[in-house]
Amino acid sequence: MRLGVVGRGPVGRYLAARLEPAFWTGRELLLSEGLDGVILAVPDGAIASTAEQVVARYRPGALIHCSGATALDALGTETERAVWHPMRPFPVGEHIETLDCVVGLRGDAQWVDRLTTWSRAWGGSPVCLSEDQALRVHLACCYAAGATALMTTLARQHFLAAGLAPEAMKQAIRGLSGPALEAVLDHGAQAITGPARRADHDVMAAHRQLQDGAEAALADALFGQLKALGLIPPS
């Protein structure tokens, strides 16, 4: 099977290392006609335009994109289509050997079958999604990865500002985050703990003295979300 990969970011590099495509290209489309499929590992906003260019110039048998948020229709209707969306971060500069994550698949059956086989070989757990499911699943991914990383960044900054050594900071965050995540995964939002959950306004007011404007606004938004979930005890 002759494949092409478009995109030299972390996902494109990961795919190129495993599929050994006939053509691996960045923004300049240096592909060839007669490819069985072309995988577009490009930003969401570039999927539709890149797909249009690839189809017009190279006429591949299929197009695959790697976004959990973008619909299949962004690939047009002139080829077979599929989506391969690994539900894990691909940090710049980090080497990923095994996927070790759920992989969301959509599209034409024969390509979903191929992507299932590849995903399992790479250590992933493929699941088939409908178009109606995809965007909500992607939103969940953003909370699980991006929001968690943001909150960990703030925790890291405050630990270091308080004078903890880097290794102590890492151990503290792992000791806090791991059990908290496992508890919520098992028991849902009722497992959330902390002063906001207890509506301990004196502690939250003391915290506010250490927060800048944007961080304080984020804390207020989180408190509001706890209220919306019905988790704040009555006054």
User: What does the chain come to in residues?
Assistant: 235
Q: Which pLDDT does position 199 carry in this prediction?
A: 87
Tell me the average pLDDT across 70-86.
97
CATH of the domain at 189: 1.10.1040
Bridge partners of residue 80, in order along the sequence: 62
Strands 23-25 and 62-65: unpaired
pLDDT digits (tens, 9 = 90+) for 35-69: 999 999 999 999 999 999 999 999 999 999 999 99
Tell me the average pLDDT across 82-93.
93
234 falls within a domain: no
Nearest alpha-carbon partner for 41 in 14, 22, 62, 72? 14
| Average of per-residue pLDDT values in the chain | 95
Q: Which pLDDT does position 92 carry in this prediction?
A: 83
pLDDT digits (tens, 9 = 90+) for 90-116: 988 888 999 999 999 999 999 999 999
In this prediction, residue 235 has a pLDDT band, given cuts at 50, 70 and 90, of low
The token duo for 121 is 């070989």
Report whether pLDDT(27) > 90.
Answer: no
Picking from 82, 112, 129, the residue at the C-terminal end of a domain is 129
Q: What's the half-sphere exposure (Cβ side, CA atoms, 13 Å) at 100?
A: 5
59 falls within a domain: yes
186 and 152 belong to one structural domain: yes
- In the chain, % of residues over pLDDT 90: 92
Nearest alpha-carbon partner for 107 in 134, 146, 138, 142? 134
7 and 95 belong to one structural domain: yes
Report whether pLDDT(233) > 80.
Answer: no
140 and 118 belong to one structural domain: no
Burial class (CB in 10 A: 0-12, 13-18, 19+), 182: exposed
Q: Answer yes or no: are the C-beta atoms of 67 and 85 closer than 8 Å.
A: yes
**Which domain does 104 fall in, by range?**
3-129
pTM over 0.85: yes
